[in-house]
Amino acid sequence: MHYESPIREPLILGDKSYHDITVDVAKPVETTAPRSWWVAFSLALVLFLWGVGCILYTIGTGIGVWGLNKTVGWAWDITNFVWWVGIGHAGTLISAILLLFKQKWRLSINRSAEAMTIFSVIQAALFPGIHMGRIWNAYFVFPIPNQFGSLWVNFNSPLLWDVFAISTYFSVSLVFWYVGLIPDFAMIRDRAIRPVQKHIYTILSFGWGGRAKHWQRFEEVSLILAGLATPLVLSVHTIVSMDFATSVIPGWHTTIFPPYFVAGAIFSGFAMVQTLLIITRKLFHLEDYITIQHVEMMNIIIMVTGSIVGVAYLTELFIAWYSGVEYEQYAFLNRATGPYWWAYLSMMTCNVFSPQFMWFKKLRTNLIFTFILSIVVNIGMWFERFVIIVTSLHRDYLPSSWSMFSPTFVDIGIFLGTIGFFFVLFLLYARTFPVIAQAELKTALKSSGENYKKEHANHGHH
């Protein structure tokens, strides 16, 4: 068995046996929902339905119900899209990259992080659809055989690369997530008393028997999928950034975008994981599994990626000045001092300044501070996309075409609707899925469980 140094903090607190873990993880699925869940779920559902209404209104009437104009052709739609895609980066990064790097602390958070990934990619995927003027022709973007002769999609277009990148990322993430879920579904199946529940989990668990062959295949598939998913984590946001980077618009036409977007995505993804897990561990009493140490680890990642993003912001400004291109210089000057200075200031404060608090151990191990900061970071990251999209577009080359953008209630409604939709999915997930990858976590119990570590230490004294 893997031996872990006693200096390392235990990953599972308390005197836990395998059975204890099973019981703790299965509890939310096996018990009825508390009142707080119902309140949260109803709120999310209302927001979701409001968003659905706004989407239907848009599709029925036209994109004109949004605040866009002839100069600003994208605003909240693509801002939201990039924001959600960014959020959807943490899960796969945690489960794939940390798996390859054998970071065991991922075990108690990867399930929920991946769920979050999938749910936020669903939100993200909505926007490229509904932002189309003719969504009923959305299938044109797929390179499918058609009756129009040699009519093919335009492989030069980053928007097309987006289609491939997002759909690949979504399907790989979903499969990866599901494979991990199989032993856990089997666990719930085995414990289920009610026949309907048992039946459902029987189907979901794909006949998992826990045999050595099953485990071997499970490990192999996980490793292969992790290998597949790892480049995707980096590629998706790289390609999203190319929507902007390959254009000719000052403020978009920037080679720094791919790494800067990926860092920003991980930054915002971890912030969202924090937001969700701090609530989940509290409500589901999972403090023993999602420990302060987990929170601290993620805060360090937030601090590092936030600083990378900060460096990117400053590099952009420097390059704008250094390039000598008057349009580029004006674009960045306008970002900081033009009509949208407040958006730029919000972005800078939230994304660059606020994560620096995490240098202090006291703050990065403080749950309430972490929770607030995680929300601040996501506000900042939303503004980052807004700043990139709207302030670059609204004043580009010809001053005659300059304009402004202001959202309508529909813009706001759709955004709130996706937040509602996200939480509807997450809340349903939290009550029906094992929120911790218990089967995998159990592999770390004997090496990283608090009681076992203590035992090791005691043996050492003898």
Partner 1 sequence: MATNKKYWKAFEDLVDAPVVQKLRENEFAEEIPVEDFLGDKQKLESSSTTRRDFLKYLGFSTAAATLAACEAPIIESIPYVVKPEELIPGIPNFYATTYFDGFDFASVLVKTREGRPIKIEPNPEATFNGTTSARIQGTVLSLYDSGRLQGPMKDGQSTNWDSALAEIKKELTTQAGNGKQVVLLTGTVISPSLKALIAEFAAIFPNFRHVTHDAVSASGKLDFYQKTIGKRALPFINLSKAKLIVGVGADFLGDHTGQAMMKEYGMVRKPGKGMARHIQVEANMTLTGSNADKRVKLKPSMHGSALTYIYNGVSGSSLSVGALDDMAKKQLDAIIKELQANRGQSVVMAGGNDEASEAMAFAINKALGNVPSVVDTDHLVYLRQGDDKAVSSMVNDMKSGSVGGIITVGVNPNYTLNPSLGYAEAVAKVPVRATFTDRLDESAGLMTYALPLTHFLESWGDAMPTSKTYALSQPTIRPLFNTKQFEEALMVWIGKDGSYYDYLKSYYNQNIDVTLGSKGWNQVLHDGVAMVAEEPVAEDTNTNPEEEAPAMDLSGAAATLKKMADGAKGMEITFYTKAGVGTGVQANNPWLQELPDPITRISWDNYITISRKDAEELGLFNEYNSAGALNGSKVTLTVGGQTLENVPVIIQPGQTHGTIGLAVGYGRTHSGKAANGVGVNAYSVMNSGSWASDASIADAGEHEFATIQIGHTMMGRKIVNEVSLSDFLSKDVSEWNEKPVFETYRGPLTADETNLWDDFDHETMPMWNMSIDLNSCIGCGACVVACHLENNVPVVGKQEVRNLRDMHWLRIDRYYSSDMNEEVAAEQGIGAIDKFQAMEEPAESPEVVFQPVMCQHCNHAPCETVCPVAATSHSAEGLNHMAYNRCIGTRYCANNCPYKVRRFNWFNYIGNEKFADVNPTQDQYGKMVLNPDVTVRSRGVMEKCSMCIQRIQLGKLEAKKEGRPVKDGDVITACAQACPTHAITFGNVNDKESVITQAKEDHRAYHLLEEVGTQPSVFYQTKVRNRA
User: Distance between CA 374 and CA 378 in Å, rounded?
Assistant: 6
Q: Are 100 and 230 in contact (CB under 8 A)?
A: yes
Contact 277, 290 (CB under 8 A): yes
Min dist. Cβ of residue 389 to partner 1 (A): 9
Q: Which stretch binds partner 1 (CB under 8 A): 146-154, 193-201, 216-224, 276-284?
A: 146-154
Among 89, 131, 189, 453, binds partner 1 (CB under 8 A): 131
Cα dist from 159 to 81, 87, 136, 166, 174, whole Å: 12, 19, 17, 10, 22
Stretch that binds partner 1, among 2-10, 90-98, 133-141, 201-209 (CB under 8 A): 133-141
Give the residue with the Cβ less far from partner 1, 176 or 405: 405
Q: How far is the CB of 233 from partner 1 (least distance, A)?
A: 23
What is the footprint of partner 1 within residues 316-335 (CB under 8 A)?
Answer: 326-327, 329-330, 333-334
Residue 443 burial (10 A CB sphere; 0-12, 13-18, 19+): middle
Question: Applying CB under 8 A, which of residues 19, 35, 70, 459 lies at the interface with partner 1?
Answer: 70
The length of the chain, given as a count of residues: 462
Our CB check for partner 1 shows the closer of 39 and 138 to be: 138
The residue within the footprint of partner 1, chosen from 158, 235, 283, 451 (CB under 8 A), is 158
Check residue 412 for interaction with partner 1 (CB under 8 A). Answer: no
DSSP for 165-192, written as a single string: HHHHHHHHHHHHHHHHHHHHHHHHHHH-
Which among 372, 350, 361, 374 is positioned nearest to 292, based on CA atoms? 361
What amino acid occupies position 15?
D
In the complex, the smallest distance separating the C-beta of residue 322 from partner 1, rounded to whole angstroms, is 14
Decide if residue 168 touches partner 1 (CB under 8 A).
no
Looking at the Cβ atoms of 149 and 460, the one nearer to partner 1 is 149
Instruction: Please state, in angstroms and as integers, the Cα–Cα distance from residue 400 to each residue in 71, 252, 332, following that order.
Output: 10, 20, 19
Cα angle 318, 320, 326; round to 5: 145
Interface with partner 1 (CB under 8 A), residue total 57
The yes or no reply on residue 428 touching partner 1 (CB under 8 A) is no
Binding site for partner 1 (CB under 8 A): 61-64, 67-71, 73-74, 128, 131-135, 137-138, 140-141, 151-154, 156-160, 163, 243, 246-249, 326-327, 329-330, 333-334, 337, 393-406
